[in-house]
Protein backbone atom coordinates (compact mmCIF):
# COMPACT_ATOMS: atom_id res chain seq x y z
CA UNK A 1 0.00 0.00 0.00
CA UNK A 2 1.45 3.37 -1.00
CA UNK A 3 1.69 6.51 1.10
CA UNK A 4 -1.45 8.05 -0.39
CA UNK A 5 -3.53 5.02 0.58
CA UNK A 6 -2.17 5.16 4.12
CA UNK A 7 -3.12 8.84 4.31
CA UNK A 8 -6.65 8.02 3.16
CA UNK A 9 -7.03 5.41 5.86
CA UNK A 10 -5.83 7.86 8.51
CA UNK A 11 -8.41 10.42 7.34
CA UNK A 12 -11.15 7.81 7.42
CA UNK A 13 -10.29 7.00 11.03
CA UNK A 14 -10.66 10.68 12.02
CA UNK A 15 -13.88 11.52 13.84
CA UNK A 16 -15.78 14.48 15.25
CA UNK A 17 -16.78 12.84 18.52
CA UNK A 18 -14.02 14.46 20.65
CA UNK A 19 -15.18 17.88 19.44
CA UNK A 20 -18.95 17.38 19.89
CA UNK A 21 -20.64 18.77 23.00
CA UNK A 22 -22.83 16.04 24.44
CA UNK A 23 -24.48 15.93 27.85
CA UNK A 24 -25.03 12.69 29.74
CA UNK A 25 -28.51 12.19 31.17
CA UNK A 26 -28.99 13.68 34.63
CA UNK A 27 -32.31 13.05 36.34
CA UNK A 28 -35.09 13.98 33.93
CA UNK A 29 -33.32 16.96 32.38
CA UNK A 30 -33.38 15.56 28.85
CA UNK A 31 -34.93 18.78 27.49
CA UNK A 32 -31.94 20.74 28.76
CA UNK A 33 -29.53 18.17 27.28
CA UNK A 34 -31.47 18.22 24.01
CA UNK A 35 -31.21 22.00 23.59
CA UNK A 36 -27.57 22.26 24.64
CA UNK A 37 -26.52 19.47 22.28
CA UNK A 38 -28.47 21.15 19.48
CA UNK A 39 -26.81 24.53 20.11
CA UNK A 40 -23.46 22.92 21.05
CA UNK A 41 -23.02 24.86 24.26
CA UNK A 42 -24.19 25.07 27.87
CA UNK A 43 -26.77 27.70 27.01
CA UNK A 44 -29.65 26.50 29.20
CA UNK A 45 -30.04 25.19 32.73
CA UNK A 46 -33.08 23.69 34.43
CA UNK A 47 -33.64 27.03 36.15
CA UNK A 48 -33.74 28.84 32.80
CA UNK A 49 -36.26 26.41 31.35
CA UNK A 50 -38.38 26.55 34.52
CA UNK A 51 -38.59 30.33 34.21
CA UNK A 52 -39.69 30.03 30.59
CA UNK A 53 -42.32 27.46 31.61
CA UNK A 54 -43.71 29.75 34.33
CA UNK A 55 -43.94 32.65 31.92
CA UNK A 56 -45.78 30.49 29.42
CA UNK A 57 -48.16 29.27 32.12
CA UNK A 58 -49.01 32.83 33.09
CA UNK A 59 -49.52 33.84 29.47
CA UNK A 60 -51.78 30.86 28.85
CA UNK A 61 -53.82 31.57 31.97
CA UNK A 62 -54.18 35.21 30.97
CA UNK A 63 -55.42 34.15 27.53
CA UNK A 64 -57.95 31.75 29.07
CA UNK A 65 -59.27 34.35 31.46
CA UNK A 66 -59.51 37.04 28.81
CA UNK A 67 -63.06 38.33 28.57
CA UNK A 68 -64.03 36.84 31.94
CA UNK A 69 -64.70 38.80 35.07
CA UNK A 70 -61.47 40.32 36.26
CA UNK A 71 -60.41 38.94 39.61
CA UNK A 72 -57.88 40.40 41.95
CA UNK A 73 -55.01 38.08 42.75
CA UNK A 74 -51.81 38.59 44.64
CA UNK A 75 -48.46 37.68 43.10
CA UNK A 76 -48.12 34.73 45.47
CA UNK A 77 -51.50 33.35 44.48
CA UNK A 78 -50.65 33.61 40.79
CA UNK A 79 -47.34 31.78 41.24
CA UNK A 80 -48.97 29.07 43.36
CA UNK A 81 -51.74 28.64 40.81
CA UNK A 82 -49.21 28.41 37.97
CA UNK A 83 -47.14 25.77 39.74
CA UNK A 84 -50.13 23.53 40.42
CA UNK A 85 -51.71 23.79 36.97
CA UNK A 86 -48.63 24.00 34.77
CA UNK A 87 -48.90 22.27 31.42
CA UNK A 88 -45.32 23.16 30.50
CA UNK A 89 -43.28 21.47 33.23
CA UNK A 90 -43.52 19.07 36.12
CA UNK A 91 -41.56 18.18 39.23
CA UNK A 92 -39.60 15.48 37.43
CA UNK A 93 -37.90 18.00 35.17
CA UNK A 94 -39.99 17.45 32.05
CA UNK A 95 -40.62 20.48 29.82
CA UNK A 96 -43.18 20.84 27.04
CA UNK A 97 -42.48 21.43 23.38
CA UNK A 98 -43.69 25.00 23.90
CA UNK A 99 -40.83 25.56 26.36
CA UNK A 100 -38.25 24.24 23.89
CA UNK A 101 -39.77 26.27 21.08
CA UNK A 102 -39.78 29.45 23.14
CA UNK A 103 -36.20 28.85 24.32
CA UNK A 104 -35.01 28.65 20.70
CA UNK A 105 -36.77 31.85 19.65
CA UNK A 106 -33.87 33.92 20.96
CA UNK A 107 -31.73 32.21 18.28
CA UNK A 108 -34.37 32.78 15.59
CA UNK A 109 -34.77 29.02 15.38
CA UNK A 110 -38.14 27.34 14.85
CA UNK A 111 -39.18 23.73 15.29
CA UNK A 112 -42.05 22.38 13.22
CA UNK A 113 -43.69 18.93 13.22
CA UNK A 114 -42.34 16.70 10.48
CA UNK A 115 -45.87 15.76 9.54
CA UNK A 116 -46.94 19.36 8.90
CA UNK A 117 -47.14 20.97 5.48
CA UNK A 118 -43.82 22.76 6.00
CA UNK A 119 -42.16 19.68 7.43
CA UNK A 120 -43.09 17.17 4.74
CA UNK A 121 -40.12 18.02 2.54
CA UNK A 122 -37.88 16.65 5.30
CA UNK A 123 -39.30 13.18 4.68
CA UNK A 124 -38.15 13.33 1.06
CA UNK A 125 -34.63 14.62 1.71
CA UNK A 126 -34.02 14.31 5.48
CA UNK A 127 -30.27 14.84 5.09
CA UNK A 128 -30.81 18.38 3.77
CA UNK A 129 -32.13 19.66 7.12
CA UNK A 130 -29.88 20.93 9.89
CA UNK A 131 -31.29 18.96 12.83
CA UNK A 132 -34.26 17.12 14.32
CA UNK A 133 -35.69 17.12 17.83
CA UNK A 134 -37.44 13.92 18.90
CA UNK A 135 -39.74 13.17 21.83
CA UNK A 136 -41.44 10.11 23.27
CA UNK A 137 -42.80 9.53 26.77
CA UNK A 138 -41.34 12.81 28.05
CA UNK A 139 -37.86 12.07 26.70
CA UNK A 140 -36.18 14.57 24.35
CA UNK A 141 -33.10 14.14 22.20
CA UNK A 142 -31.42 15.69 19.15
CA UNK A 143 -30.23 14.44 15.78
CA UNK A 144 -27.82 16.98 14.32
CA UNK A 145 -25.73 17.61 11.21
CA UNK A 146 -22.17 18.95 11.54
CA UNK A 147 -20.00 20.92 9.15
CA UNK A 148 -22.90 21.43 6.76
CA UNK A 149 -22.25 17.96 5.30
CA UNK A 150 -25.26 15.77 4.57
CA UNK A 151 -23.12 12.75 5.40
CA UNK A 152 -22.11 13.94 8.90
CA UNK A 153 -25.11 13.31 11.12
CA UNK A 154 -24.95 12.30 14.79
CA UNK A 155 -27.42 11.01 17.34
CA UNK A 156 -26.90 13.11 20.48
CA UNK A 157 -29.33 11.26 22.75
CA UNK A 158 -28.28 11.82 26.38
CA UNK A 159 -29.17 8.19 27.19
CA UNK A 160 -26.43 6.89 24.90
CA UNK A 161 -22.81 6.41 25.91
CA UNK A 162 -21.85 9.31 23.67
CA UNK A 163 -22.54 10.77 20.22
CA UNK A 164 -23.25 8.13 17.61
CA UNK A 165 -22.56 8.63 13.91
CA UNK A 166 -25.50 8.21 11.53
CA UNK A 167 -24.92 7.51 7.86
CA UNK A 168 -26.83 9.53 5.30
CA UNK A 169 -28.74 6.42 4.23
CA UNK A 170 -29.60 5.35 7.78
CA UNK A 171 -30.89 8.81 8.76
CA UNK A 172 -34.12 8.44 6.79
CA UNK A 173 -34.58 4.88 8.04
CA UNK A 174 -34.08 6.02 11.65
CA UNK A 175 -36.62 8.83 11.34
CA UNK A 176 -39.18 6.43 9.85
CA UNK A 177 -38.53 3.94 12.63
CA UNK A 178 -38.93 6.60 15.34
CA UNK A 179 -42.15 7.85 13.80
CA UNK A 180 -43.52 4.30 13.62
CA UNK A 181 -42.67 3.83 17.29
CA UNK A 182 -44.76 6.88 18.19
CA UNK A 183 -42.09 9.55 18.51
CA UNK A 184 -42.99 13.16 17.84
CA UNK A 185 -40.37 14.52 15.45
CA UNK A 186 -39.72 18.21 14.90
CA UNK A 187 -37.67 19.69 12.08
CA UNK A 188 -35.27 22.43 13.17
CA UNK A 189 -35.43 25.50 10.94
CA UNK A 190 -33.02 28.42 11.08
CA UNK A 191 -29.27 28.80 11.52
CA UNK A 192 -27.53 27.08 14.39
CA UNK A 193 -24.60 28.82 16.07
CA UNK A 194 -21.29 27.59 14.70
CA UNK A 195 -19.40 25.22 16.94
CA UNK A 196 -15.92 23.75 17.17
CA UNK A 197 -17.25 20.46 15.82
CA UNK A 198 -18.80 22.27 12.84
CA UNK A 199 -15.54 24.02 12.00
CA UNK A 200 -13.47 20.88 12.40
CA UNK A 201 -15.99 18.91 10.34
CA UNK A 202 -15.52 21.30 7.43
CA UNK A 203 -11.80 20.49 7.35
CA UNK A 204 -12.41 16.75 7.01
CA UNK A 205 -13.15 15.03 3.70
CA UNK A 206 -16.72 14.08 2.96
CA UNK A 207 -17.32 10.58 4.42
CA UNK A 208 -19.01 9.58 1.16
CA UNK A 209 -15.78 10.37 -0.71
CA UNK A 210 -13.81 8.55 1.96
CA UNK A 211 -15.91 5.44 1.46
CA UNK A 212 -15.38 5.74 -2.30
CA UNK A 213 -11.62 5.90 -1.77
CA UNK A 214 -11.76 2.85 0.48
CA UNK A 215 -13.76 0.99 -2.15
CA UNK A 216 -11.15 1.90 -4.78
CA UNK A 217 -8.32 0.80 -2.50
CA UNK A 218 -10.14 -2.43 -1.68
CA UNK A 219 -10.77 -3.08 -5.37
CA UNK A 220 -7.10 -2.51 -6.17
CA UNK A 221 -6.13 -4.94 -3.44
CA UNK A 222 -8.68 -7.46 -4.73
CA UNK A 223 -7.35 -7.10 -8.29
CA UNK A 224 -3.78 -7.61 -7.06
CA UNK A 225 -4.83 -10.71 -5.12
CA UNK A 226 -6.58 -12.13 -8.20
CA UNK A 227 -3.51 -11.45 -10.36
CA UNK A 228 -1.25 -13.15 -7.82
CA UNK A 229 -3.62 -16.10 -7.68
CA UNK A 230 -3.57 -16.44 -11.47
CA UNK A 231 0.23 -16.36 -11.49
CA UNK A 232 0.32 -19.11 -8.87
CA UNK A 233 -2.09 -21.16 -10.96
CA UNK A 234 0.12 -20.77 -14.03
CA UNK A 235 3.17 -22.01 -12.13
CA UNK A 236 1.14 -24.87 -10.70
CA UNK A 237 -0.16 -25.81 -14.14
CA UNK A 238 3.38 -25.85 -15.55
CA UNK A 239 4.46 -28.22 -12.80
CA UNK A 240 1.51 -30.45 -13.57
CA UNK A 241 2.46 -30.52 -17.26
CA UNK A 242 5.89 -31.93 -16.39
CA UNK A 243 4.37 -34.77 -14.42
CA UNK A 244 1.68 -35.59 -17.00
CA UNK A 245 2.13 -38.64 -19.29
CA UNK A 246 4.05 -37.77 -22.39
CA UNK A 247 1.04 -38.70 -24.49
CA UNK A 248 -1.00 -35.83 -22.89
CA UNK A 249 1.67 -33.26 -23.74
CA UNK A 250 1.54 -33.88 -27.49
CA UNK A 251 -1.51 -31.56 -27.74
CA UNK A 252 -3.42 -33.62 -30.20
CA UNK A 253 -0.43 -35.02 -32.19
CA UNK A 254 0.04 -38.74 -32.74
CA UNK A 255 0.57 -40.53 -29.44
CA UNK A 256 4.08 -41.66 -28.70
CA UNK A 257 2.80 -45.16 -27.91
CA UNK A 258 1.76 -45.63 -31.54
CA UNK A 259 5.21 -44.53 -32.69
CA UNK A 260 6.81 -47.04 -30.37
CA UNK A 261 4.51 -49.75 -31.70
CA UNK A 262 5.78 -49.11 -35.23
CA UNK A 263 9.45 -49.69 -34.24
CA UNK A 264 10.86 -53.31 -34.76
CA UNK A 265 11.03 -55.54 -31.80
CA UNK A 266 14.26 -57.07 -30.48
CA UNK A 267 13.51 -60.42 -32.15
CA UNK A 268 12.91 -58.72 -35.46
CA UNK A 269 16.19 -56.87 -35.18
CA UNK A 270 18.05 -60.13 -34.33
CA UNK A 271 16.48 -61.86 -37.33
CA UNK A 272 17.54 -59.07 -39.62
CA UNK A 273 21.11 -59.22 -38.29
CA UNK A 274 21.27 -63.00 -38.79
CA UNK A 275 19.92 -62.69 -42.31
CA UNK A 276 22.60 -60.11 -43.03
CA UNK A 277 25.33 -62.38 -41.68
CA UNK A 278 24.06 -65.30 -43.77
CA UNK A 279 24.31 -63.17 -46.92
CA UNK A 280 27.85 -62.24 -46.01
CA UNK A 281 28.88 -65.85 -45.38
CA UNK A 282 27.31 -66.93 -48.67
CA UNK A 283 29.59 -64.65 -50.61
Distance of CA 124 to the CA centre of its chain: 18
pLDDT at position 136, please?
92
| Residue 101 near residue 111 (C-beta atoms within 8 A) | yes
Across 31-39, average pLDDT:
96
Residue 278 exposed, middle or buried by CB count within 10 Å (0-12, 13-18, 19+): exposed
pTM: 0.65
Name the residue among 114, 112, 134 with its Cα closest to residue 33: 134
Task: Determine the Cα–Cα distance for residues 104 and 111; give it in Å rounded to an integer.
Answer: 8
Task: Report the 3 state secondary structure along 66-95.
Answer: CCCCCCCCCHHHHHHHHHHHCCCECCCCCE
Q: Is the pLDDT of residue 213 over 80?
A: no
Residue 110 is among the residues annotated as catalytic for this protein:
no
Q: Which of 34, 102, 157, 198 is catalytic?
A: 157
pLDDT at 176 over 70: yes
CA distance 141 to 157: 5
Helix (H, G, I), strand (E, B) or coil at 95: strand
Supply the pLDDT for residue 9.
Answer: 47
Q: How high does pLDDT run on average in the chain?
A: 77
**Is residue 137 classed exposed, middle or buried when 0-12, 13-18 and 19+ CB atoms within 10 A define those classes?**
exposed
Is the pLDDT assigned to residue 118 strictly greater than 80?
yes
Strands (E), the chain: 110-113, 131-136, 139-145, 153-155, 164-166, 184-189
Residue 2 reports pLDDT greater than 50: yes
Q: Indicate if the pLDDT at residue 43 is higher than 90.
A: yes
pLDDT > 60? residue 218:
no
Average of per-residue pLDDT across 200-210: 75
Contact 127, 105 (CB under 8 A): no
Q: Residue range 56-80: average pLDDT? A: 64
Which position among 34, 57, 139, 198 bears the catalytic label?
139
What's the pLDDT band for 120 if we cut at 50, 70, 90?
confident
Q: Is the pLDDT of residue 15 over 90?
A: no
Q: Is residue 134 annotated as a catalytic residue, yes or no?
A: no
- CA 125/CA 148 separation, integer angstroms: 14
Name the CA dihedral angle for 137, 143, 175, 48, rounded to a multiple of 10 degrees: 30
- Assign 48 to helix, strand or coil: helix
Q: Please tell me which residue in 30, 34, 134, 198 is annotated as part of the active site.
A: 30
Residue length of the chain: 283
Which of the residue ranges 5-19, 42-56, 144-158 would you say has the lowest mean pLDDT? 5-19
The architecture in CATH of the region 17-61+87-203 reads: Alpha-Beta Complex (3.90)
Higher pLDDT, 61 or 47: 47
Answer whether residue 23 shows pLDDT above 60.
yes
- Judge whether 28 counts as a catalytic residue: no
Distance of CA 281 to the CA centre of its chain: 104
Count of beta carbons in the 10 Å neighbourhood of residue 258: 9
CA distance 145 to 126: 11
Amino acid sequence: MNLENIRQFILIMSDLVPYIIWEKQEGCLCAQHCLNSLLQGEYFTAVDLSEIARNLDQAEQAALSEGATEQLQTEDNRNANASTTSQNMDDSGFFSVQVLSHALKVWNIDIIPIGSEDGRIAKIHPEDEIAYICNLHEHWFTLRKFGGLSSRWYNLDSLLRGPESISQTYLGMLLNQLENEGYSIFVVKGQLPSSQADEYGKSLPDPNLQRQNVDEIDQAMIDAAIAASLENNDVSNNKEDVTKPIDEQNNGSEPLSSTIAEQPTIDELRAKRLAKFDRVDGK
